[in-house]
């Protein structure tokens, strides 16, 4: 396989943009990508656009507006991993030597759904019983707290940390810090989870430019190397499932570490899928950056702070940056790119040279998640 590089990234700021469709937001992110990289649109040989609710042919509807038309483009749907999957497919194409320059985008508008829990559209036996994503994560939280002794304050500390990180990020949906009491006293959503333990339904888009070594050298922009790109689907069964151990994350991460020849101890930062506070504990353990049952202590001890042992979600994570579902994976790659090229400004993790990004999601029956993607990127001198 050939080396693959990220040679540019752009984010259409996350937040509430009810007047802009997924195509509008996607366009904004690609315009910014072309502007900041100087890439001529006719040089893009293919495009992959991740979106869950953007509708048919959203890839064409985004890319044809900015001069990327005629070439093969694909709309990619893999629930919360849609954007990560779009990047993975772009990576495949370049690693395989098929293309030298591919654009990967994620875009979503969730304002159109109004408030509350996102509607689950994959009719199944559990959705028929009234399950919603906050309820699923609440049950994971109940079990985790039962097994480990963690408490609600521990969950809240994740929100406090990630909101501190997001307060420095001009691209974040929420840019205000919150206190522990504020989190604990926010509205009850699904016990033990409260509103500020849940990520917001956001609108937004992100775009990254992936290219071969030769193309990246010609373009001359700062670059980071993709050392691993892995997607896995959930393992389907209807028997006992350990809800404190997201098997899909563990399997995806293990494959990524193998591909990269790196281990959890090598990571300087992780952009993690903290759709709910409890998710940071579960996935940190499955990613191997905390011992089983100990991630809550790592958070309490500051090990996941921006200047801690390994920075977890220095961009603010989903809890602060927001979660425009299909855009999240691409925005994580963007944030990692800025960290590794030393251009993350106030968010900069000192000396960041190895980053891991992780998205997982899709509440469908019989799997812990529908799809998970993990990328490992390194700085290039």
Q: Least distance to other proteins from the beta carbon of 234, Å?
A: 12
Question: The dihedral of CA 146, 152, 156, 157: what is its sign?
Answer: negative
- The active-site residue out of 80, 101, 199, 372 is 80
Any contact of residue 191 with other proteins (CB under 8 A)? yes
- From 8-16, 116-124, 273-281, 306-314, give the range in contact with other proteins by CB under 8 A: 116-124
- From 191-199, 210-218, 309-317, 339-347, give the range in contact with other proteins by CB under 8 A: 191-199
Residue 314 CB neighbours (<10 A): 31
Question: CA-to-CA distance for 287 and 282, rounded, in angstroms?
Answer: 9
Q: Least distance to other proteins from the beta carbon of 268, Å?
A: 34
Residue 13 phi/psi, 5-degree rounding, is: -50, 140
Beta strand residue intervals within 222-344, DSSP E: 224-233, 269-271, 311-312
Q: Least distance to other proteins from the beta carbon of 6, Å?
A: 37
Residue 198 annotated among the catalytic residues of the structure? no
Any contact of residue 116 with other proteins (CB under 8 A)? yes
- From 140-148, 245-253, 304-312, 322-330, give the range in contact with other proteins by CB under 8 A: 140-148
Q: Least distance to other proteins from the beta carbon of 176, Å?
A: 22
CB-based contacts of 351, cutoff 8 Å, min separation 6 = 268
Binding positions for other proteins, 232-261, rule CB under 8 A? 236-241, 243
Any contact of residue 139 with other proteins (CB under 8 A)? yes
- From 16-24, 29-37, 130-138, 328-336, give the range in contact with other proteins by CB under 8 A: 130-138
Nearest Cα to 18, choosing from 115, 121, 116, 119?
115
Inter-CA distances, 10 with 16, 168, 338, Å: 18, 17, 10
- Considering only 71, 127, 164, 255, the residue that binds other proteins (CB under 8 A) is 127
The site for other proteins, by CB under 8 A, has a size of: 36
Any contact of residue 114 with other proteins (CB under 8 A)? no
Any contact of residue 117 with other proteins (CB under 8 A)? yes
Q: Least distance to other proteins from the beta carbon of 26, Å?
A: 29
If you count them, how many residues does the chain have? 381
Binding positions for other proteins, 2-41, rule CB under 8 A? none
- Considering only 126, 177, 266, 380, the residue that binds other proteins (CB under 8 A) is 126
Beta strand residue intervals within the chain, DSSP E: 4-15, 46-50, 73-76, 101-108, 188-190, 193-194, 203-211, 224-233, 269-271, 311-312, 354-361, 371-379
- Considering only 17, 140, 163, 306, the residue that binds other proteins (CB under 8 A) is 140
Residues classed as catalytic: 80
């Amino acid at each position: 396989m050939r080396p693959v590089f990220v040679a540019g990234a752009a984010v259409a700021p996350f937040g509430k943009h009810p007047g802009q469709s997924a195509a509008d937001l996607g366009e904004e992110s690609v315009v910014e990508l072309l502007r900041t990289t100087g890439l001529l649109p006719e040089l893009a040989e293919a495009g992959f656009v991740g979106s869950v609710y953007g509708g048919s042919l959203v890839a064409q509807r985004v890319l044809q507006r900015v001069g990327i038309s005629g070439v093969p483009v694909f709309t990619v749907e893999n629930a919360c991993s849609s954007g990560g999957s779009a990047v993975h497919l772009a990576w495949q194409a370049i690693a395989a030597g098929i293309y030298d320059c591919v654009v990967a985008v994620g875009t979503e508008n969730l304002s159109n759904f109004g408030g509350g829990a996102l509607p689950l559209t994959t009719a199944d036996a559990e959705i028929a019983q009234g399950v919603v994503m906050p309820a699923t994560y609440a049950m994971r939280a109940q079990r985790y707290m039962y097994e480990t002794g963690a408490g609600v304050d521990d969950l809240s500390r994740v929100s406090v940390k990630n909101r501190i990180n997001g307060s420095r990020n001009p691209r974040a949906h929420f840019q205000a810090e919150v206190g522990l009491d504020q989190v604990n006293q926010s509205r009850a959503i699904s016990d033990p989870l409260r509103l500020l333990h849940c990520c917001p339904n956001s609108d937004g888009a992100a775009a990254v430019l992936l290219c071969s070594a030769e193309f990246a050298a010609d373009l001359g922009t700062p670059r980071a190397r993709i050392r691993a790109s892995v997607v896995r689907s959930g393992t389907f069964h209807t028997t006992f499932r350990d809800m404190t151990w997201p098997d899909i994350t563990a399997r995806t991460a293990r494959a990524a570490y193998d591909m990269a020849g790196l281990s959890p101890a090598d990571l300087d930062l992780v952009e993690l899928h903290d759709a709910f506070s409890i998710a940071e504990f579960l996935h940190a353990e499955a990613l191997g950056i905390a011992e089983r049952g100990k991630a809550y202590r790592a958070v309490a001890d500051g090990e996941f702070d921006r200047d801690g042992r390994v920075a977890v979600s220095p961009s603010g994570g989903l809890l602060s940056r927001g979660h425009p579902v299909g855009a999240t994976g691409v925005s994580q790659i963007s944030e990692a790119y800025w960290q590794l090229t030393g251009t993350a400004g106030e968010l900069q993790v000192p000396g960041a040279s190895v980053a891991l990004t992780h998205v997982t999601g899709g509440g469908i029956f019989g799997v812990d998640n529908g799809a998970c993607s993990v990328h490992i990127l390194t700085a290039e001198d």
